[in-house]
């Protein structure tokens, strides 16, 4: 499940990085998000013999849980099989972190999912977006595109997040955490 807000005005924003990850993954699979079930754009696919469902709720971020609950109920998904991809202010751009369980950390989309599914026992791919540089409010920052000098790095991180999702599906959460959480693109150019 990739989190974001529907509509073209939000498409390239930091808060929509979850949608951006799902969009890149579906392009890799050569498929389109077309179904309108569960108040979301979704698709069912096969990843190396494993059935997956990609979902982008269209309920706006703060009500993402409605869509996730409807989907999980319909398919009888165990909460532990749900993977939520979302932006994270507390991680710098250049970092992706796979986690199991835990609180919302102030993220309203994750909070909505916890409230609607009644559990924190789902996995997440947190995509670091960093913090505002120029004194803008957090609200304005997350609803703005990446700064011009961040865009190339953002694309690398979105690709890494897709890899995290695939590892979760094919190898499990432990493998995804072990492989992804140690990778760090932050200031990599400066260290080379």
Spot the catalytic one: 15, 39, 86, 116.
15
Within 8 A by CB and 6+ apart from 94, the residues are 128, 153, 156, 157, 184, 185, 186, 187, 188
Q: Is 15 annotated as catalytic?
A: yes
Written as six digits, the tokens of 45 are 């696919």
Name the residue with tokens 């703060």.
Answer: 62
Burial of 30 (0-12, 13-18, 19+ CB in 10 A): exposed
Q: How far is CA 3 from the centre of its chain?
A: 6
Residues 25, 17: Cα–Cα separation, whole Å: 12
Within 8 A by CB and 6+ apart from 75, the residues are 53
Strands 40-47 and 50-57: antiparallel
Task: Catalogue the active-site residues.
Answer: 15
């Amino acid at each position: 499940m990739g989190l974001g807000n529907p509509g073209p005005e939000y498409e390239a924003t930091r808060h929509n990085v979850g949608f951006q990850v799902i969009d890149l993954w579906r392009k890799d699979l050569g498929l389109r998000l077309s179904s309108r079930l569960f108040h979301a754009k979704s698709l069912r696919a096969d990843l190396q013999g494993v059935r997956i469902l990609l979902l982008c709720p269209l309920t706006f971020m703060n009500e993402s849980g409605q869509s996730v609950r409807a989907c999980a109920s319909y398919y009888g998904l165990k909460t532990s099989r749900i993977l939520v991809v979302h932006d994270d202010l507390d991680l710098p751009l250049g970092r992706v972190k796979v986690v199991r369980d835990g609180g919302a950390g102030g993220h309203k989309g994750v909070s909505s999912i916890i409230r609607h599914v009644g559990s924190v026992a789902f996995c997440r791919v947190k995509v670091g977006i960093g913090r505002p540089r120029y004194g803008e409010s957090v609200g304005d920052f997350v609803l703005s595109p990446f700064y011009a000098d961040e865009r190339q790095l953002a694309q690398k991180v979105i690709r890494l997040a897709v890899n995290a999702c695939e590892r979760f599906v094919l190898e499990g959460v432990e493998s995804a955490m072990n492989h992804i959480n140690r990778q760090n693109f932050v200031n990599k150019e400066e260290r080379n």
